[in-house]
């Protein structure tokens, strides 16, 4: 089948490359001509494991191409995916649908013959109805159907998630459209990937409900972690104890500095706004957002507690390892590292920073820090090392070498990467999350 993917950002690029790997002919369209030119030369604008090879293979095979003008790709397409950004709108937290509406108006005028239009972007309930209205307004004679097909990709594991999904959710109201999108996903039948066919509004709400529930699990275990510290319990063992219950499950029960990224923060805000607009306030989700926002900055107090807890870090050099919101991505959107670093600076600390992949992005959004070339360079002369992102490179640091180059031996492990006993055997004061606090250093 011929597919036009409108938007060559994270979702569009991964989805387009995977669809082409299935054997479909895909054109990824983006109005950023410089991005398109870079993609044509094999320069990938995002960090996603396996994506450069996947794109190169399918470009070489003639199944994947890139364009900045959508008219021809849309006119030739059997199915058009809208995969543009929907960031939080300033002021009210609602999803900004201006890019979706602009893409819809542009593609509407280029439609030629029966075409299925798919909203792949994460959009509030009712957006597919609005997309249909806009197309009818722009092109009254168009023969088309609108489908909702939300994405469930995890950054850092997106290709596997696309090819081996837990489920595929498709909101469709017309049998013709159902047949077309079923053909697009036919290669996944061999994997027995479950496909849920439903109506469009249910599909749209399913995406938001899924992300809000996962964000709630993270926030819940973070609050249990705070309690565990106070009562002398171990949150990791608590998480294992409850996660073995099949009704709960073990995933998203890892205590840490709070969730970030491109999805959970904006999607929870958008869901809250949808609830308010429909006079159905979502109190649990509202609390999740508030608790998570407070937690990110509060992590600086955990660093301060390692030096007596008076909130004063003047004269201290703090090494921050990891600034992306999770490993295996360069995405810093709503990363816990940013408010943490700001709070450390407010306490008077001098901050040193290293991330294996995120340094170019960090330099755009973090000021008045020292950027370092590796973890040991970052730790040199520091009074404390703070592990914020659980990159594999940080899981087996040479503790003896760290102790020899640091000004004082303090490790604040916000991801519980290390065993406290192992770290303390090497002469460090250790501070984790959700485990009984050692005596102040």
Helix (H) / strand (E) element for 286: namely helix 283-305
CA gap 438, 180 in Å, rounded:
60
Backbone angles phi, psi at 146, to 5 degrees: -105, 135
CB contact at 8 A, 420 and 430: yes
Q: Which two tokens stand for residue 40?
A: 């044509």
CA gap 335, 351 in Å, rounded:
16
240: number of Cβ within 10 Å? 12
Query: Which residue, among 318, 307, 314, has the nearest Cα to 379 in the 3D structure?
Result: 318
Query: Which residue, among 32, 53, 33, has the nearest Cα to 42 in the 3D structure?
Result: 53
CB contact at 8 A, 300 and 432: no
CB contact at 8 A, 6 and 70: yes
- CA 317 vs. chain centroid, Å, equals 30
CA gap 248, 435 in Å, rounded:
22
CA gap 100, 121 in Å, rounded:
8
Q: How many CA atoms lie within 13 A of 71 on its CB side?
A: 2
Q: Which two tokens stand for residue 189?
A: 């039948």
Q: CA angle 113-119-122, nearest 5°? A: 170
- Residue 263 known to be catalytic: yes
CA gap 146, 354 in Å, rounded:
45
Question: Which residue among the candidates 263, 372, 378, 431 is catalytic per the annotation?
Answer: 263
Q: What is the CA radius of gyration of the chain?
A: 24
Q: What is the DSSP string of 339-383?
A: HHHHHHHHTT-EEEEE-TTTHHHHHHH--S-EE-SSHHHHHTT-S
Backbone angles phi, psi at 311, to 5 degrees: 75, 10
Sign of the CA dihedral running 413, 419, 421, 424 = negative
Query: Which residues are identified as catalytic?
Result: 263
């Amino acid at each position: 089948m011929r597919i036009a993917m409108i938007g060559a950002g994270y979702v569009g690029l991964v989805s387009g490359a995977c669809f082409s790997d299935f054997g479909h002919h895909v054109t990824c369209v983006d109005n950023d001509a410089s991005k398109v030119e870079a993609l044509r030369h094999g320069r990938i604008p995002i960090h996603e494991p396996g994506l450069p090879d996947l794109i190169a293979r399918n470009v070489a095979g003639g199944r994947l191409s890139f364009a900045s003008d959508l008219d021809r790709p849309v006119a030739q397409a059997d199915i058009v995916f809208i995969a543009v950004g929907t960031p939080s709108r300033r002021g009210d937290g609602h999803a900004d649908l201006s890019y979706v509406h602009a893409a819809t108006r542009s593609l509407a005028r280029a439609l030629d013959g029966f075409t299925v239009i798919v909203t792949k972007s994460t959009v509030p309930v009712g957006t597919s109805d609005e997309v249909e209205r806009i197309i009818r307004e722009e092109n009254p004679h168009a023969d088309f159907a609108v489908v909702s097909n939300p994405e469930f990709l995890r950054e850092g594991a997106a290709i596997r998630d696309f090819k081996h999904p837990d489920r595929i959710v498709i909101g469709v109201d017309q049998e013709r459209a159902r047949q077309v999108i079923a053909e697009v996903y036919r290669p996944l039948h061999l994997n027995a990937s479950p496909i849920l066919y439903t109506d469009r509004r249910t599909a749209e709400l399913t995406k938001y409900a899924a992300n809000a529930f996962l964000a709630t699990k993270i926030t819940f275990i973070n609050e249990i972690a705070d309690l565990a510290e106070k009562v002398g319990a171990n949150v990791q063992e608590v998480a294992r104890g409850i996660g073995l219950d099949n009704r709960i499950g073990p995933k998203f029960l890892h205590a840490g500095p709070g969730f970030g990224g491109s999805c959970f923060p904006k999607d929870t805000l958008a869901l809250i706004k949808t609830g308010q607009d429909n006079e159905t306030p979502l109190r649990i989700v509202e609390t999740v957002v508030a608790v998570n926002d407070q937690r990110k900055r509060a992590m600086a107090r955990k660093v301060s507690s390692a030096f007596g807890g008076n909130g004063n870090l003047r004269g201290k050099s703090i090494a921050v390892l990891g600034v992306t919101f999770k490993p295996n991505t360069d995405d810093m959107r709503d990363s816990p590292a940013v408010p943490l670093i700001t709070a450390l600076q407010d306490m008077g600390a001098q901050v040193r920073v290293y991330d294996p992949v995120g340094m170019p992005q960090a330099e755009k959004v973090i000021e008045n820090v020292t950027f370092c070339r590796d973890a040991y360079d970052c730790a040199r002369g520091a009074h404390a090392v703070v592990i914020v992102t659980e990159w594999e490179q940080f899981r087996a640091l040479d503790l003896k070498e760290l102790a020899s180059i640091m000004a004082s031996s303090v490790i604040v492990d916000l991801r519980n990467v290390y065993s406290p006993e192992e770290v303390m055997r090497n002469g460090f004061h250790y501070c984790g999350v959700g485990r009984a606090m050692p005596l102040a250093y």
